[in-house]
Amino acid sequence: MSSFSRLARAYKNAKVVPFDDTSKFILFSDCHRGDNSFADDFANNRNIYFHALKHYYNEGFSYFELGDGDELWENTSFEPIFTAHKNVYGLLRQFHLQNRLHMIWGNHDMVYKDPVYVQKNLSSYFEPIDGEDKELLVGITYQEGIVLQHRETQQELFLTHGHQADWWNYTFWRLGRFLVRILWKPLQVWGIADPTSPAKNHKELIKVEKRIKKWILQNDQKITIAGHTHRPRFPEPGAIPFFNDGSCVHPRSITGIEIENGSISLIKWQIATTEDGTLRVVRVLLEGPQKLADYQQSK
């Protein structure tokens, strides 16, 4: 199956989420939440991420995670990840209880495409203090794609992870997982990157992006928002409408995409120093806001 076929299938089977100009969405991807070991790329940014997530919860945003939220290539199970970042999952549970949590699976958490696996591992957790199981993300479902559809204009935004355009990480993800666990995770501690990852291989990154943009051109210039490559993208109106929210494992910062008031923005959260030497987590606007209506789809 080609990358075009995989993207088309993800779009065809996507869950549809209606929205309007009063909707508020935050899109993150590629958190790669790990076990807080030296190989856990998320650990360095976990306080930034938690602060940002709490901000969006308090401001009434819905949270969309576009794949690779949990690092289940390096880690054999969800339990050590949950233990390492329990506060994050507690906050995700609050989003879920208010129907404000939407999850997409990527290649590093591709096991989540199995509803049985999700129910078994994410529905509850054991609380040693009380000595009993407690509810976590009961009833959560993971999608390969989500379509945001505007209630009035019917404009669509297609959300997916993007590894559909990466034949190795989609078709041979089990082999990739094996190599990461056995070979690249130990080497990562010494700073040696996995060459099969498009986020760490510029040539592969370019190939993946070209395939996605070609698919967009052949599908009515459909606005597509992905992750996977970790490279933020924010096109100008009139250009191919391919967005990328970046990742949460950039050095000392996380990036994401906000949709609010009918507009789209690329943002970054980072630690900044004030004049008196105080460290603060701050939001930085990188691109936008740009009206979604400015990205007209061809007919």
pLDDT at 189: 54
Domain boundaries, the chain: 3-266+284-294
**Per-10-residue mean pLDDT, the chain, length 299:** 89 97 98 91 96 98 97 93 96 98 96 97 89 93 98 96 84 73 61 55 84 93 95 96 97 96 98 91 97 80
Show the tokens assigned to 230: 């970790």
- Cα dihedral 266→226→97→92 (10° resolution): -70
- CATH of segment(s) 3-266+284-294: 3.60.21.10
Residues 114-173 have pLDDT tens digits of: 999 999 999 999 888 778 889 999 999 999 999 999 999 999 999 999 999 987 777 766
Percent of the chain's residues with pLDDT above 90: 75
Phi, psi angle pair for 259, to nearest 5°? -125, 120
Residues 80-91 have pLDDT tens digits of: 999 999 999 999
In 3D space, the residue among 254, 225, 263, 218 whose CA is nearest the CA of residue 55 turns out to be 254
pLDDT at 60: 98
Q: Would you tell me the crossing angle of helices 86-97 and 46-58 to the nearest 10 degrees?
A: 20
pLDDT at 168: 72
Question: How much is the pTM?
Answer: 0.91
